[in-house]
Amino acid sequence: MASETHSIGIDRYLPHEFDTFLNLYVDLFYGREPLTTCIGFDKEQMIFITQHLYAGENNLLSQGLCWIARDRSQGDRPVGIIVCDDPVVAGELQVPENLTRQELERISVATGLLEEIGRPMKEMFELGEGSCLHVAAVGVAPEYGGMGIAKGLLQTALSEAGARGFRYAFAECTSPASRMLFEKGGFTRIHSVSVSTFEMHGRRPLPDCDLEIHLMQKVLIEGKDC
């Protein structure tokens, strides 16, 4: 089912739309998402990693938890996206083959940071599949900002999560705008990590990155607390 806001429609991602998804994802987040910018992924690397995560068997998109916002008045132009997954179903991230040493280092840092920020959710994951919804990314084209599209995407995902019986939703916020979006959506901050002081193997890989990552959580079923 699609949801509508003025000329904006929100449709569930369909498998045959991967090229549309890939192009939109990279356009929305390359050069704009603070953490990937700090780590230093170039556009080609971001495309490669996105393809690895979201293409092939058992990819995150196959869970049916991603939606695309489209401008109906502009020929269904894709203008926004929300990417969610069940981390228990997804399992551990498999590192692509044939990477350079630099690429492996960057992926290792990104993975380490996400593991650290998500540490408080580990206990929730033990509840099994269908318990925790991970909101991995929400993005809207700059010219469509301020129209409530991101809010609509988040509401769509949370409504689906509730219908499926998910008990919690969580997200990692890397910007004030994303944190505000989730706070308005009823999420609360339960953990934060300073990227500049984050340590791996006894060293700080990103000492010059002035960024705080906030773990936001929302209880979807009343009476179920952490």
Quote the percentage of the chain above a pLDDT of 70. 91
Residue 73 and residue 216: Cα distance in Å, rounded? Answer: 34
Tell which residue, 68, 201, 60, 203, has the closest CA to residue 136: 60
Tokens 């809010």, residue located: 151
Yes or no: say if 104 and 95 are a contact pair by the CB < 8 Å rule: yes
Angle between helices 43-54 and 18-29 (to 10 degrees): 140
Q: What is the pTM of this model?
A: 0.91
Taking 70 as the threshold, does the pLDDT of residue 5 lie above it? no
Digit-coded pLDDT (tens) for 75-133: 999 999 999 999 998 766 667 777 888 888 998 999 999 999 999 998 889 889 999 99
Domains of the chain with CATH codes: 8-219 (3.40.630.30)
